[in-house]
Amino acid sequence: MRNWTGSLHLNVKERKGKTVPQKVYFQGAFKVMRPIYHDDSGRVCYYLLNPGGGYLDGDRYQMKIHLGENAKLTLTTQGATKVYRTPKSYAYQESEILLQAGSFLEYIPDPLIAYQNANYKQKNIIRMDKTATFLYSDIITPGWSPEGKHFSYSSIQLLNEIYIDDELVVFDHIKLDPSLQNIRGLGFMEGFTHLGSMIVVGNQSNSSLLDRLYSVIETNTYDYRVGISELPVPGFIIRMFANSTQVIEKAFSDISRIISQEWLKTNSCFLRKY
């Protein structure tokens, strides 16, 4: 696809126990802040920026992320991804992620907000070594309209493909189309307004970890519904329904903290955005 509205290429590598930038390139309405180190673990954190404030009709965004051997990166956004009315052509974002041996990527974007009559498509392609670790989450909100109506967007489509050693091991596809689906009904949102997904792939995943995650999530007293499923490779996927962004963010933050403590022997980053 040509004529990108914004594109970003970010390569990082490990050097003497610290992850440092190797290549940082961006152009158009897509930028990245300077690297931040939240602690002395060597893991680097980057914040993605959209100077335009949101995605408009026909916008196209491309992101390429490459982690060298043993590099550790947390990637997040400065704020929610806002998709406005797209009367002619859908807004689109494409990400290509390459994880080399022993690398660790935590990709935690802020929630997706699709406004009235918005069409949005997103595709993430992850190619990783069998010894790499990948943690990704997303949250879909009900959007917004002048009348205060929920699910006023036209469609949202999220696609994730994960390859380990060039073999497709995870294919995750979510498509919400309120004009064709009973979004509030059984098999879709089931009365809830927010949908969160988390995908974790890593050799250290096992049944005892899933049991611990279940126990942590069950301590949440808010109204929600959650399910955890093991993947055909070491890892799991979580789906969570709730009625607010904060409930899902709290659960996902607890899970990220446990993984950081057990797998990296460090605390998860505090991604302050205020």
Q: What is the dihedral of CA 228, 272, 12, 140, to 10 degrees?
A: 40
Question: Which pLDDT value is given to residue 63?
Answer: 97
Q: Are the C-beta atoms of 53 and 84 separated by less than 8 Å? A: no
Chunked mean pLDDT (size 10), the chain, 274 residues:
87 96 94 91 93 88 97 94 94 97 96 94 98 97 81 95 96 93 82 94 92 81 86 95 92 90 76 57
List the beta bridge partners of residue 199. Answer: 136, 237
Q: Where are the domains of the chain?
A: 65-264
Question: Which pLDDT value is given to residue 273?
Answer: 55
3-state secondary structure of 207: helix
Q: What is the dihedral of CA 135, 160, 239, 207, to 10 degrees?
A: -50
3-state secondary structure of 270: coil
What sign for the dihedral angle of Cα 208, 211, 213, 216? Answer: negative
With a CB cutoff of 8 Å and minimum separation 6, the contacts of 171 are 160, 161, 162
Question: Which pLDDT value is given to residue 196?
Answer: 96
Question: Which pLDDT value is given to residue 148?
Answer: 76
Give the orientation angle of helix 207-218 with respect to helix 245-259, to 10 degrees. 140
